[in-house]
Amino acid sequence: MRKSILILGVVVASLGLSACGSSTKATIDSSIASLGAQSNLQIHFTASASGTGSAEVQKVLNVVSLDIRYASTSGGPLSRANAKANSDITINVGAKQLLDLREIDSNLYVELDLSAISAIPGLPLTARDQSQLTALQLVLGAKWFELTSSLIASELPPSDAAKATATKERAIESKIADALSNLIDKGHATSLASGGYSETGTLESVLQAIEPIVATLDPSASTAGPVKGTYTLTLTNAGSVATGGSISITAPGGGVSAGDATVTLQAGVTHDNDSVNTPSDVTVITPALIQQLLGSTSSL
């Protein structure tokens, strides 16, 4: 479940909001636990932008969304599933799925629908770009491809140096996550009338929280400050069960006379009985097929 919490990122950080009363903190702790309390978890991400210079960005955000699904293979709670859980990530453009990526029993399954790219507003696609997308769609589109764990291991064998780098990066990520969690924990959460909690802080406080970590990585590096702007974290729940969360960042839009701009990432949480299954009609990727696909795409 730690993997799923990390994928939620800063949105799920809002589920760790502190509060002045012990009963409120107990409710929030129960909300966190509810994420992995069942055998299925679905998270729907959307984003929005408002304020200075946000009009064009909002047109794109209106049609783009992200879905993540987890399903325990044992039927037990995800919090006890360890590696025995399948996952599915989809990137949506309107009603179409641009990408569907599933991890099942350590194997990866990928499906692309490149025709969805044309539905993204304001994308500067030339006639040549459109032609290439059409050609790629004929080769790759609407087909499921399987990358077995053995193929991934053989094609991308981890070196000792890569393992050491990955371990170091995970340690840094953990320190940053702990620093931000401590920052949030020192804040003050207020109750929402609709059910849930909200907490607001300054971006400067975030900078100060991670500055010591940056200094240990590179003593010569300096974090520019002060930083103007605020963040707001929210948790929505039904009783003690989490139903969603969000993070909003408001900061100057740039320029002396420019106003503020706000970017918000929302996450909705459900626990529907929705299993993650192996697709049918799968093309298994082999080294020979990789070369063939590379040859087909390089000619475009």
pLDDT of residue 274: 93
pLDDT of residue 208: 85
If one counts every other C-beta atom within 10 angstroms of the C-beta of residue 126, the result is 8
* CA dist., res. 175 & res. 72, Å (int): 29
* CA dist., res. 176 & res. 172, Å (int): 6
The average pLDDT across 34-53 equals 91
Q: Mean of the per-residue pLDDT values for the chain? A: 81
pLDDT of residue 26: 66
pLDDT of 80 over the 60 cut: yes
Residue 15 tokens read as 């589920």
What is the residue-wise DSSP string for 223-282? -------EEEEEEEEETTEEEEEEEEEEEE-SSSS--EEEEEEEEEEE-------PPSSE
3-state secondary structure of 181: helix
pLDDT digits over 226-277, tens only? 788 999 988 888 888 889 989 899 998 766 566 889 999 999 999 999 999 9
If residue 101 lies in a helix (H) or strand (E), which one and from where to where? strand 96-104
The average pLDDT across 276-297 equals 79
What's the burial of 75, exposed, middle or buried (CB within 10 Å: 0-12/13-18/19+)?
exposed
pLDDT digits over 142-193, tens only? 899 999 888 777 766 666 666 777 788 888 877 887 787 777 777 777 888 8
The average pLDDT across 38-52 equals 93
If one counts every other C-beta atom within 10 angstroms of the C-beta of residue 245, the result is 28
* CA dist., res. 66 & res. 93, Å (int): 9
The average pLDDT across 98-114 equals 94
Cβ pair 278, 269 in contact under 8 A: no
**Annotated domain spans of the chain:** 2-156+233-298
Phi, psi of 249 (to 5 degrees): -120, 125
Q: If pLDDT is split at 50, 70 and 90, which confidence band does 297 have?
A: low
